[in-house]
């Protein structure tokens, strides 16, 4: 039996550990997905009549529970027919694609207790800015086209690329490969500075100049995650486990996977 429901699909994910925040990467370019925070939970909602792939996309969020939401704000698990609760009231919904701009709390001290910090609202906005600095900083990362990266690995001796790791994304036509390590190869692309695993383009940094760890805490990422902030206002969170060692075998396997993903994307678009 299928539960009666509206077209509104809702997901709930636990904020502890940061896994749910990494799952939002796939939704960063989808303005129809909205989110809201409620204590230790993250809520996501979407109209299934607008996003036909809503169930599949929300299933990518680690640990998320999926519900249908009816007109009485009752939550019914997608594979059940009986409501199990109500959606919390007073949630402030905002398109997830707008969350890519960072907001950090301003810490002030109580006049009555100089040793006890308090969180003051509104928060401070953190923007990506050109540094205007002539000081050279060796790049620790690179965004490039996979074709250039694969050609470099396949046509150079292994000592040049052995210390490097890489990851690819299938939702980008160009600069779809992230290379991490040193020395960065001399191939076309966007060179990145690595500051506590927060990657920004060379000659750019964030302002105001808060510690990188403050940015990591604001995003609730795990200690091993990488934060890629390539342009304003877009950023991505990449688990360290997604990076693989540069070998000729891994390059050939990735080339096959990218070609297969491209073929599947074409098939999905052609499907009636």
Q: Identify the CA nearest to 86 among candidates 67, 63, 99, 111.
A: 67
Distance (Å, whole) CA 247 – CA 241: 16
**Residues 6 or more apart whose Cβ sits within 8 Å of residue 94:** 34, 35, 36
Residue 180 clears pLDDT 90, i.e. is over it? yes
Over residues 170-189, the mean pLDDT reads 82
CB atoms within 10 A of CB 108: 10
Distance (Å, whole) CA 197 – CA 225: 7
Residue 266 clears pLDDT 50, i.e. is over it? no
Per-domain residue ranges of the chain: 8-100, 141-266
Q: Are 97 and 30 in contact (CB under 8 A)?
A: yes
Tokens for 267, please give them: 């098939």
Tokens for 246, please give them: 């540069």
Structure confidence at residue 84 (pLDDT)? 92
| First-residue to last-residue Cα distance in the chain | 27
Top mean pLDDT of 11-20, 99-108, 110-119, 171-180 is at: 171-180
Buried b (16+ CB within 10 A) or exposed e, 201-223: bbebbbeeeeebeebbeebbbee
């Amino acid at each position: 039996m299928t539960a009666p429901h509206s077209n509104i699909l809702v997901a709930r994910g636990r904020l502890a550990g940061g896994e749910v925040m990494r799952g939002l990467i796939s939704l960063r370019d989808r303005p129809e997905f909205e989110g809201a925070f409620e204590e230790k939970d993250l809520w996501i909602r979407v109209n299934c009549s607008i996003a036909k792939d809503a169930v599949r996309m929300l299933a990518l969020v680690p640990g998320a529970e999926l519900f249908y939401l009816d007109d009485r704000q009752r939550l019914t698990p997608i594979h059940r027919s009986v409501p199990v609760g109500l959606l919390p009231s007073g949630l402030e919904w905002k398109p997830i694609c707008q969350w890519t701009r960072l907001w950090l709390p301003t810490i002030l001290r109580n006049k009555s207790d100089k040793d006890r910090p308090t969180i003051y609202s509104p928060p401070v906005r953190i923007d990506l800015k050109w540094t205007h600095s002539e000081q050279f900083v060796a790049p620790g990362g690179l965004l490039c086209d996979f074709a250039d990266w694969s050609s470099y690995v396949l046509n150079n001796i292994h000592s040049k690329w052995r210390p490097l790791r890489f990851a690819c994304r299938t939702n980008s036509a160009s600069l779809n490969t992230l290379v991490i390590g040193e020395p960065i190869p001399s191939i076309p692309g966007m060179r990145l500075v690595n500051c506590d695993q927060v990657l920004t383009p060379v000659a750019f940094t964030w302002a105001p100049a808060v510690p990188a760890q403050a940015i990591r805490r604001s995003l609730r990422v795990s200690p091993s995650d990488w934060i890629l902030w390539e342009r304003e206002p877009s950023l991505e969170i990449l688990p360290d486990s997604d990076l693989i060692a540069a070998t000729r075998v891994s390059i050939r396997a990735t080339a096959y996977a990218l070609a297969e993903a491209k073929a599947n994307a074409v098939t999905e678009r052609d499907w009636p």
